[in-house]
Amino acid sequence: MMSATTDEPLINYTGADNLVVVPITAFIRKDGHVAVIDEDAKMLADAYPEMTKYFGYMLSEEIPAPIFRRAGVNIMGVVDREHYKSALDEDLVRDGLRIIREAAETHRDMLVYLFPFGDDEVRNKEMFDDVSNLVLLHREVTDG
């Protein structure tokens, strides 16, 4: 696992050779879209409006971590909570960490970028420590 500190949004890491991972909810709205609450996921959803509908369809087909692909963009949505108003779900986070690891191992030709998944950064480091193509990003802390 590689680690990097950044002040850039996750959208800046999109590219044909990269897989970016965003947290999503299991809640599928009436219009078929999943709800996203993470700022990076919102930014990606604004850039690719069809992404959340694709995630909603794939979740309804019981695909647990869909990968949205468009020309030069690979975005994996991983569920970390049931509903946009609910707290992190520990079982979903644990399953999500396993899914992210499997995706990195499957897509060895890509760099996998994500901010810590869930709220336990130590568990992220332990889970991904031996995964060579995964980049765990950290927010740059600024004074002021």
Task: Tell me the pLDDT tens digit for each residue of 34-51.
Answer: 989 899 999 999 999 999
28, 84 contact by CB (below 8 A):
no
The pTM for the full model equals: 0.92
Q: Residue 102 corresponds to which tokens in the numbers above?
A: 């499997």
Q: How confident is the model at residue 144, as a pLDDT?
A: 53
pLDDT band, very low/low/confident/very high, at 140 (cuts 50, 70, 90):
confident
Q: How far is CA 79 from CA 15, 98, 116, 118, in A?
A: 22, 12, 14, 10
